[in-house]
């Protein structure tokens, strides 16, 4: 019995799954857009009823207040926008320095947690438990009020060889005072680094071909210093080392570090390093045990096993969780507020008092934190992709 095969017919539009999905998505987007529009209009309406608006004009007005430390230049005559940027760059600088330091310390703590030495292992464990389990704000205030403020006052500064001073108003170190040709010298220094890299590769090649010890570090450093010193002599004093002096109320000259900066850095680094230490420990344990045994069978010492075989594989695993910790550190810079460090939250409080535009200012704050967080994640993702094993199953 022949039966005609029914041809593929499209169901009616209102029953066609593909059409319904599309319509649902469009409707959802439309609803979200409408809700956002309503929120925005509501804010605008209520603000204008109180004689305020959503403009950003206030950013042009004169700031009128001082910011005691800044990475980019600033005077109280500049605009509120400039003040905002100064505060943002302060926060970023704290985060940058903090991320570098906490990574170094965190890796060290993680390895120490797995040490064969009982004392080292227990001390690392104590460190992690203490710093992980107390609130960061408490730690920040402790380091500042409990430790830094209690060191001798500036009149009683502790001094090392007369060129380094420490007191509760900060530390002063010898600083570099750039002369006329300082930037030219810096270019030469850069060339020196390139030269060092070239020499290093050459020495490695020599070593590979002939088996003679390469001493590549010594040769590389030598090359760099050769270029740098020659450039210094040729240019005739492109910079000078300036030692600080102890004034009555402040240090004069040199490179100065404020106690607030030190306080927030110490607190952030110690706290985040505890978390990074645990991540590193977990990553090292996650590397297949066979790798360590094979490395041992090859005759590598424990330190070499760790450095050459285990750690490179472990850090691959550790990158995404460490990225999280970097983001936490960046956002936690806002706690500098509690110890007078002029970071973003501290200064925006004053900007709001000056300009009165809370909604606009806090939107800017949110976008800044969001933007830099995305930037950090972007960089870490690039690193992650660069070191990922292609097609490997770990």
Partner 1 sequence: MRRGLMAKFVVALAVFALVAVGCERDGGTTTDDNGDAAQQGGNLLQEVIDRGTLRCGVNETVPGFGFAEAGEEPEGFDIDFCRAFAAAIVGDPEAIEMTPVDADTRIIALQNGDYDVLVRNTTHTTSRDGTEGLSFAHVNFYDGQAMMVRTESDFQSLEDMDGANVCVTTGTTTELNLADRFAELGLDVTAVGGADNTQLQQAFIRDRCDGWTSDRSQLAGIRGAWPPRDGGPDALRILPDVMSKEPLAPAVLDGEVALYQVVNAVVHGLIFAEELGVTSNNVDQQAQSPDSADIANLLGVPVEEGAAESINHGLGIDNDFMQGVLAAVGNYGEIFERHIGANTPLGLERGINALWTEGGIQYAIPFR
- In the complex, the residues that contact partner 1 under the rule CB under 8 A are 14-15, 17, 20, 23-24, 27-28, 30-31, 34-35, 38, 41-42, 45-46, 49-52, 64-68, 76, 141, 145, 149-150, 153-154, 168-169, 247-250, 259-260, 337-340, 342, 346, 349-350, 352-356, 358
Q: CA 17, CA 91: separation in Å to the nearest integer?
A: 51
- At its nearest, how many Å lie between partner 1 and the CB of residue 72? 18
Choice between 225 and 362, CB closer to partner 1: 362
- Tell me the two tokens of residue 206: 């020599």
- At its nearest, how many Å lie between partner 1 and the CB of residue 358? 6
- At its nearest, how many Å lie between partner 1 and the CB of residue 15? 6
Q: CA 67, CA 87: separation in Å to the nearest integer?
A: 8
Choice between 306 and 339, CB closer to partner 1: 339
- At its nearest, how many Å lie between partner 1 and the CB of residue 64? 5
Choice between 44 and 296, CB closer to partner 1: 44
- Tell me the two tokens of residue 8: 């593929």
Cβ–Cβ under 8 Å, residues 297 and 361:
no
Q: CA 373, CA 331: separation in Å to the nearest integer?
A: 8
- At its nearest, how many Å lie between partner 1 and the CB of residue 93? 18
Q: CA 232, CA 176: separation in Å to the nearest integer?
A: 14
Among residues 59, 61, 64, 106, the alpha carbon closest in space to that of 85 is found at 59
Cβ–Cβ under 8 Å, residues 219 and 203:
yes
Q: CA 71, CA 304: separation in Å to the nearest integer?
A: 40
Which string of DSSP letters, residue by residue, matches 178-213?
E-TTHHHHHHHHHHHHHHHHHHHHHHHHHHHHH---
Cβ–Cβ under 8 Å, residues 276 and 356:
no
- At its nearest, how many Å lie between partner 1 and the CB of residue 68? 5
Query: Exposure of 141 by Cβ count < 10 A (0-12 exposed, 13-18 middle, 19+ buried)?
Result: middle
- At its nearest, how many Å lie between partner 1 and the CB of residue 258? 9
Cβ–Cβ under 8 Å, residues 232 and 263:
no
Choice between 93 and 224, CB closer to partner 1: 93
Query: Exposure of 53 by Cβ count < 10 A (0-12 exposed, 13-18 middle, 19+ buried)?
Result: middle
Choice between 69 and 296, CB closer to partner 1: 69
Choice between 65 and 217, CB closer to partner 1: 65
Q: CA 315, CA 345: separation in Å to the nearest integer?
A: 33
- At its nearest, how many Å lie between partner 1 and the CB of residue 370? 22
Q: CA 54, CA 72: separation in Å to the nearest integer?
A: 28
- At its nearest, how many Å lie between partner 1 and the CB of residue 82? 14
Q: CA 354, CA 370: separation in Å to the nearest integer?
A: 24
Choice between 45 and 118, CB closer to partner 1: 45
Q: Helix, strand, or coil here: 176?
A: strand
- At its nearest, how many Å lie between partner 1 and the CB of residue 23? 5
């Amino acid at each position: 019995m022949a039966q005609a095969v029914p041809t593929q017919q499209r169901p009616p539009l209102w029953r066609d799954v593909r059409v319904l999905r599309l319509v649902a998505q469009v409707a959802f987007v439309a609803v979200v857009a409408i809700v956002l529009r309503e929120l925005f209009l509501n804010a605008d309406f209520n603000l204008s009823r109180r004689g305020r608006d959503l403009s950003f004009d206030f950013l042009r007005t004169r700031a009128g207040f001082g910011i005691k430390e800044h990475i980019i230049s600033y005077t109280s005559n500049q605009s509120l926008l400039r003040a905002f940027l100064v505060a943002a760059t302060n926060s970023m600088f704290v985060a940058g320095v903090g991320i570098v330091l906490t990574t170094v310390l965190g890796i060290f703590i993680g390895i120490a947690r797995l040490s064969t030495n009982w004392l080292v292992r227990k001390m690392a464990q104590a460190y992690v438990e203490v710093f992980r389990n107390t609130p960061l704000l408490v730690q920040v205030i402790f380091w500042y009020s409990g430790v830094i403020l209690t060191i001798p006052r500036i009149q009683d500064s502790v001094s090392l060889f007369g060129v380094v001073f420490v007191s509760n108003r900060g530390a002063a170190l010898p600083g570099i005072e750039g002369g006329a040709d300082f930037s030219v010298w810096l270019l030469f220094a850069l060339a020196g680094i390139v030269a060092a890299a070239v020499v290093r590769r050459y020495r490695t090649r020599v070593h590979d071909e002939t088996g003679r010890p390469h001493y590549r570090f010594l040769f590389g450093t030598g090359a760099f210093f050769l270029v740098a010193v020659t450039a210094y002599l040729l240019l005739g004093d492109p910079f000078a080392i300036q030692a600080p002096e102890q004034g009555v109320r402040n240090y004069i000259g040199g490179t100065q570090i404020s106690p607030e900066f030190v306080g927030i850095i110490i607190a952030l680094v110690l706290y985040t390093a505890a978390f990074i230490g645990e991540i590193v420990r977990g990553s090292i344990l996650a590397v297949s045990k066979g790798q360590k045994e094979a490395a041992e069978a090859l005759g590598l010492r424990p330190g070499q096993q760790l450095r050459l075989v285990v750690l490179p594989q472990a850090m691959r695993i550790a990158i995404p969780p460490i990225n999280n910790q970097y983001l936490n550190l960046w956002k936690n810079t806002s706690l500098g507020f509690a110890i007078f460090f002029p970071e973003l939250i501290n200064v925006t409080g004053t900007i709001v008092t000056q300009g009165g535009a809370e909604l606009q200012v806090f939107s800017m704050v949110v976008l800044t934190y969001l933007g830099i967080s995305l930037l950090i994640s972007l960089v870490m993702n690039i690193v992650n992709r660069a070191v990922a094993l292609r097609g490997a199953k770990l």
